[in-house]
Amino acid sequence: MEVVHPEYVPDPALSREEMEALQRDLAADAVFSDDLDVDPAEIALDEPPTENATLGGDADAPVVVGIDQAFTDDEAVSAAVAIRDGSVVETVEGRAPLDIPYIPGLLAFREGGCILDALRRLDVDPDLLVLDGSGRIHFREAGIATHIGVAVDTPSVGVAKNLLCGTPRTPLDEGPFPEGTKIPIEADDSMTTPDGTVVGHALQSRQYPNPERRHVNPLVVSPGHRVSAETTVGVVDALCAGYKLPEPTRLADAAADDLKSR
């Protein structure tokens, strides 16, 4: 696939002020309502995808791509795994030097280059990108899922393990919550978004039989680009197949890990 907006390619050499300005610009181009080329209801997985399937499968089924990174001392490696009709149809990798440290709110400038490097090598055309981290749940509505989604103008969602900002309608420390629980997350005064706007959800994708003994924390999902908050939770939920993480990110996670160990 191609980068449609080169001006939004995250440049680690920018000053903090320039980075934030770029985020405000791209957030203005972000679409937080449904504008997909496929019916989101057709995006689902009942079981973990089958490894590599060059032949067979419905060639017209939606292509969902999971992306994740692993790190060494000075380099980031990214793995993008494309899934269609229940099987992995393509896997690519990307690399980039680590030029700046992790700074909350500026994650895309540390990991974005590596991700775009991988996505450019992708032959299939993704209908949805699933990224690690926030999308609209961000101080300037420009989390890494939004940043990447807008740069390639492709529907995207963000899946995070922790909350960056915003206020859950039910405090997350009031858990454990039963599997399937969806808690709206509203914008607060730490964000540019009008207060009370639902910018994402906490999603209890998995829970143990006896949460009192041992429990799982919810995921934090938010729209990246061209997807609404409601559709985002529904789709991520449908992409889970028995594990806490949705299959696209689980597979990308594993792929990135063994790329690192090589």
Which residues does the annotation place in the binding site for Mg(2+)? 68, 132
Q: What angle do CA 244, 126, 51 make, to 5 degrees?
A: 55
Residue 95 touches DNA, criterion: CB under 7 A: no
How far lies 47's CA from each of 188, 234, 243, 248, 253, in Å?
37, 17, 10, 12, 17
Kindly tell me which of 53 and 100 has the beta carbon lying closer to DNA.
Answer: 100
How near is the Cβ of 161 to DNA at its closest, in Å? 4
| CA 212/CA 17 separation, integer angstroms | 46
Residue 62 touches DNA, criterion: CB under 7 A: no
Q: Which of 78, 91, 134, 193: binder of DNA (CB under 7 A)?
A: 134
Q: Which of 39, 41, 51, 104: binder of DNA (CB under 7 A)?
A: 104
Residues 45-57 as b/e (b if ≥16 CB within 10 A, e otherwise) read beeebeeeeeeee
**Coil, strand or helix at 194:** coil
Residue 107 touches DNA, criterion: CB under 7 A: yes
Residue 224 touches DNA, criterion: CB under 7 A: no
Smallest CA-to-CA distance from 105 within 76, 132, 133, 130 is with 133
Piece of 26-34, 85-93, 131-139, 193-201 that binds DNA (CB under 7 A): 131-139
Q: Which of 22, 89, 108, 227: binder of DNA (CB under 7 A)?
A: 108
Q: Find the distance separating the first CA and the last CA of the chain, reported in whole Å.
A: 26
Q: Are the CB atoms for 43 and 129 separated by under 8 Å? A: no
Kindly tell me which of 62 and 247 has the beta carbon lying closer to DNA.
Answer: 247
Piece of 32-40, 82-90, 141-149, 177-185 that binds DNA (CB under 7 A): 141-149
Binding site for DNA (CB under 7 A): 68-71, 102, 104-108, 132-134, 138, 143-145, 158, 160-165, 208-210, 213-214, 257, 260
